């Protein structure tokens, strides 16, 4: 599992199942559909599950969006509502508590601009609750947000910025949005993951920074991520696997060639791919050509979902009036 890059808990479980014969211990999984959205609820229960999954103990909810979400406004709204429901399962706040939303990523790089784009579409209310409390409904929750940029733009660790801000304004909850990496091309730009274990900025491209979590900040941290890239080595690995499976199917069972293919060590194959690709291509990542449009649409879905979850007293129509 170490050789194949993925930030999605559901894919970590799939990888484990591919590489091990026994059922994974220490996790609980529930799969179901709602409004055309496939939802996979992965709970890592103990240290055994944590070790096998390579992820901290906690809850990870993955939503796989319908194929039509990009072109149908009603489907977009349905996905936002389903997403808000999943987010509400891990957001524990009353109406007086403050939420800080952090849009991680580099707004100058489209596949990494999801976080800042989401923040630009949020319903921000903390200043209104403080400055004009008589003019705003008492059921509106105080929400503030920031897009702190990345280390290369600011020279400051993102985690340090968030910690300083959290120490100053003392929010009751932090929600971080970031771009992730998937191991399957079909999940890129079509999947949303929600987790309650925090996040390491830059992990999707193998560039981990200071962890943003309850452990490091002393405040509950919810992580929201959308895979926008896939690693070139992962695509090469999948392509070779498909070719090998096809060769095995067409080979004469019991032949020397068939036996050689069946006994091929998949981990050695992955190491060979990495050795060949890295000198030629470096740690290349790939994103679809329509990424500009996708980021625009997905950021609206994620922002609306967050708005609904943080402002349960308002409907989506009311929120859209505020934002627009």
- Closest CA relative to residue 119, chosen from 311, 320, 306: 306
Instruction: Say which residues have a Cβ less than 8 Å from residue 277's Cβ, sequence separation at least 6.
Output: 232, 233, 236, 284
pLDDT at 1: 41
pLDDT at 204: 47
The two tokens of residue 124 are 């921000």
pLDDT at 199: 87
pLDDT at 282: 55
State phi, psi for 165 to the nearest 5 degrees. -65, -45
DSSP 29: E
Rounded CA gap, 58 and 101, in Å?
A: 20
- Closest CA relative to residue 53, chosen from 188, 177, 195, 192: 195
Instruction: Say which residues have a Cβ less than 8 Å from residue 295's Cβ, sequence separation at least 6.
Output: 110, 111, 113, 114, 117, 228
Instruction: Say which residues have a Cβ less than 8 Å from residue 20's Cβ, sequence separation at least 6.
Output: none
3-state secondary structure of 48: helix
pLDDT in tens, the chain (324 residues): 445 568 999 999 988 888 787 888 999 999 999 999 999 999 999 999 999 888 999 999 999 999 889 889 999 999 999 999 999 988 888 878 999 999 999 999 999 999 999 999 999 999 887 888 777 778 889 999 999 988 888 888 898 999 999 999 999 999 999 999 998 888 999 999 999 998 876 554 555 567 899 988 999 999 999 999 988 777 777 777 777 778 778 787 777 776 776 676 666 666 766 676 666 655 678 888 899 999 999 999 999 999 999 998 888 787 877 765
Instruction: Say which residues have a Cβ less than 8 Å from residue 225's Cβ, sequence separation at least 6.
Output: 7, 177, 178, 179, 180, 192, 193, 195, 199, 204
pLDDT at 255: 79
The residues with which 34 forms a beta bridge, in sequence order, are 37
pLDDT at 171: 95
CATH code 3.40.50.1450 for 56-231+288-323: yes
User: Where do the structural domains in the chain lie, given as residue ranges?
Assistant: 56-231+288-323, 235-281
pLDDT at 162: 94
Rounded CA gap, 156 and 151, in Å?
A: 5
- Closest CA relative to residue 209, chosen from 263, 154, 150, 260: 150
């Amino acid at each position: 599992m170490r050789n194949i890059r993925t930030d999605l808990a559901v894919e970590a479980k799939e990888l484990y199942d591919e590489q091990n014969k026994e059922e994974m211990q220490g996790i609980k999984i529930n799969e179901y559909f709602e409004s055309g959205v496939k939802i996979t609820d992965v709970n890592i229960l103990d240290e055994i599950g944590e070790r096998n999954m390579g992820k901290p103990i906690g809850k990870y909810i993955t939503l796989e969006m319908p194929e039509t979400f990009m072109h149908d406004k009603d489907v977009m709204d349905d996905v936002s509502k389903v997403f808000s429901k999943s987010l509400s399962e891990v957001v524990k706040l009353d109406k007086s508590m403050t939420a800080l939303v952090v849009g991680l990523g580099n707004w100058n790089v489209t596949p990494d601009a999801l976080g800042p784009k989401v923040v630009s579409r949020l319903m921000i209310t903390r200043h209104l609750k403080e400055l004009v409390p008589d003019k705003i409904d008492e059921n509106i929750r105080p929400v503030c947000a920031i897009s702190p940029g990345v280390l290369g733009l600011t020279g400051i660790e993102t985690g340090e910025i968030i910690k300083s801000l959290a120490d100053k304004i003392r929010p009751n909850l932090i929600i971080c949005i970031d771009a992730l990496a998937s191991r399957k091309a079909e999940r890129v730009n079509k999947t949303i993951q929600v987790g309650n274990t925090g996040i390491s900025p830059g992990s999707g491209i193998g560039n981990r920074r200071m962890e943003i979590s309850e452990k490091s900040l002393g405040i509950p941290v919810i992580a929201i991520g959308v895979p926008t890239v896939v690693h070139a080595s992962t695509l090469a690995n999948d392509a070779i696997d498909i070719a090998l499976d096809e060769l095995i199917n067409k080979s004469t069972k019991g032949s020397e060639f068939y036996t050689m293919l069946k006994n091929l060590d998949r981990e050695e194959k992955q190491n060979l791919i990495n050795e060949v690709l890295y000198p030629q291509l470096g740690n290349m990542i790939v994103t679809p050509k329509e990424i500009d449009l996708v980021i625009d649409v997905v950021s609206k879905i994620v922002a609306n979902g967050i708005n609904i979850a943080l402002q349960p007293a308002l409907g989506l129509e009311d929120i859209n009036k505020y934002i627009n």
